[in-house]
Structure 1
Amino acid sequence: MAGSKGETRFYPYLPQNPKDPCTKAYKAYVAAGGHSAYATTPYSRVRSLYIICGSRLNAPSQQAAEELALKSCQATRNSYRVTTGGGCEIAASK
């Protein structure tokens, strides 16, 4: 599974800056060898001011990875209290 993008539900928007936390999280997700998931808020140029993301690497199962990635994304979204184009969704999992 390492190096695989897994099951992609939608292609996440990734900022061009390689030091951006969401870009780093997605690259770590792709490089992970076990069950992993990447969650993010949907990107809309009109409504999204921020991109919030979360991931879980090497979880015991794909379902657990998805649940924990969603929790991570939602916790980040709640802590920053920002307006985005929507709630957190699983973008990819394996």
Structure 2
Amino acid sequence: AGSLTGSEGDKRFPPYLPRNPKDPCTKTYKAYVAAGGHSAYATTPYARIMSSYIVCGGHLNAPSQKRAEELAMKSCQSTRGHYKVTTGGACEIAASK
């Protein structure tokens, strides 16, 4: 297996990324793409009408793609619970490799 560095992996839907490069979700997604091992990026869906906030989570360089997805979901759900925000939906895996 070759390196996964720079790969967007299996994209399930295009994640909404704020244009601000310092935004936590933009930084998390860029780190996900740059990671060389099994990694995943989870986010809440973006709907202009319903979403006040986008919440995301990621996990880099896990032992497997499945484990990376589990840990990214846990990270996203934890962030969502911590901030107690109203979003357009639950956390979902946007991309994994």
> Is the shorter-chain TM-score for this pair beyond 0.5, marking a shared fold?
yes
1:20-77 CA distances to partner (integer Å, 9 max, x unpaired)? 0000000000000000000000000000000000000000000000000000000000
- Describe the SS at the equivalent of 2:93: strand
Instruction: Name the TM-score, length of structure 2 as normaliser.
Output: 0.97
Off by >6 Å, runs of 4+ in structure 1: none
Instruction: State the Cα RMSD in Å.
Output: 0.2
- Unaligned runs of at least 5 residues, structure 1: none
Instruction: Name the TM-score, length of structure 1 as normaliser.
Output: 1.00
Indicate the residue corresponding to 2:93 in structure 1.
90
- Unaligned runs of at least 5 residues, structure 2: none
Counterpart of 2:53, as a letter, is Y
Indicate the residue corresponding to 1:69 in structure 2.
72
CA distance in 1, matches of 2:84, 2:34: 30
